[in-house]
Amino acid sequence: MRLSRYFLPVLKETPAEAQIASHRLMLRSGMIKQSSAGIYSWLPLGFRVLRRVEAIVHEEQIRAGHIPMLMPTLQSADLWRESGRYDAYGPEMLRVRDRHDRDMLYGPTNEEMITDIFRSHVNSYKDLPLTLYHIQWKFRDEIRPRFGVMRGREFYMKDGYNFDIDRDGALHAYNRHMVSYLRTYERMGLQAIPMRADSGPIGGEDTHEFLVLADTGESEVFYDAAITELRLGDRQVNFDDRSECAAIVEEWTAPYARTDETHDAEAFARIPEARRRKSRGIEVGQIFYFGTKYSEPMGATVTNDKGEKVPVHMGSHGIGVSRLVGALIEANHDENGIIWPEGVTPFHCGIVNLRQGDGETDAACEKLYKTLVQKGLEPLYDDRTERAGAKFATMDLIGLPWRLTVGPRGLAAGKVELTCRRTGQSEDLTPADAVAKVAEIYAPHHAAAHWEPMANRSFHTWL
CB 349 within 8 A of CB 404: yes
Give the list of residues 6+ apart from residue 333 with CB closer than 8 angstroms, or none.
21, 22, 25, 339, 399
Write the interaction track for ligand 5CA spanning residues 126-145; mark x where CB under 6 A is met and - where it is not. Answer: --------------x-x---
Binding mask 299-338 for ligand 5CA (x = CB under 6 A): -----------------xxx-x-xx---------------
Buried b (16+ CB within 10 A) or exposed e, 171-192: bbbbbbbbbbbbbbbbbbbbbb
- Find the binding residues for ligand 5CA in span 87-116 (CB under 6 A): 109, 111
- Is 261 a binding residue for ligand 5CA by CB under 6 A? The answer is no
170 closest CA partner among 361, 340, 311: 311
Closest CB to ligand 5CA among 66 and 391?
A: 66
Smallest gap from Cβ 150 to ligand 5CA, in A, equals 6
φ, ψ dihedrals at 208, nearest 5°: -125, 140
Q: Check binding of 148 to ligand 5CA (CB under 6 A).
A: no
Q: Are the C-beta atoms of residues 71 and 284 closer than 8 Å to each other?
A: no
Determine the Cα–Cα distance for residues 265 and 166; give it in Å rounded to an integer: 34
For residue 94, the minimal CB distance to ligand 5CA (Å) is 12
Which residue number, 9 or 203, has a Cβ lying nearer to ligand 5CA?
203
The per-residue DSSP string of 143-169 comes to: SS-BTGGGB-SEEEEEEEEEEESSHHH
Site for ligand 5CA in 174-233 (CB under 6 A): 202
152 makes contact with ligand 5CA (CB under 6 A): yes
Q: Is there binding between residue 83 and ligand 5CA (CB under 6 A)?
A: no
Q: How far is the CB of 366 from ligand 5CA (least distance, A)?
A: 41
Among 54, 59, 116, 159, binds ligand 5CA (CB under 6 A): 159
- Nearest-CB residue for ligand 5CA: 320
DSSP bridge partners of 105: 75, 95
For the CA atoms of 230, 236, 240, 244, the dihedral, rounded to the nearest 10 degrees, stands at -40
Rounded to the nearest whole angstrom, what is the least distance from the CB of residue 108 to ligand 5CA in the complex?
7
Residue type, 408: P
Contact call for residue 151 and ligand 5CA (CB under 6 A)? yes
Question: Burial level of 96, CB count in 10 A (0-12/13-18/19+)?
Answer: exposed
Q: CA separation (Å) from 275 to 174, 182, 212?
A: 28, 22, 18
Give dist(CA 189, CA 326) in Å, integer: 14
Name the residue among 430, 394, 459, 454 with its Cα closest to residue 4. Answer: 394
Does 284 contact ligand 5CA by CB under 6 A? yes
Nearest CA to 132 out of 237, 84, 62 is that of 62
Which window, 175-183, 185-193, 284-292, 422-430, contacts ligand 5CA (CB under 6 A)? Answer: 284-292
Instruction: List the one residue from 118, 125, 155, 239 that touches ligand 5CA (CB under 6 A).
Output: 155
Of the pair 3, 25, the CB lying nearest ligand 5CA is at 25
> Does residue number 85 form part of the binding site for ligand 5CA (CB under 6 A)?
no
Q: Which of 204/343 has CB closer to ligand 5CA?
A: 204
Interacting residues with ligand 5CA (CB under 6 A): 109, 111, 140, 142, 151-152, 155, 157, 159, 202, 283-286, 288, 316-318, 320, 322-323
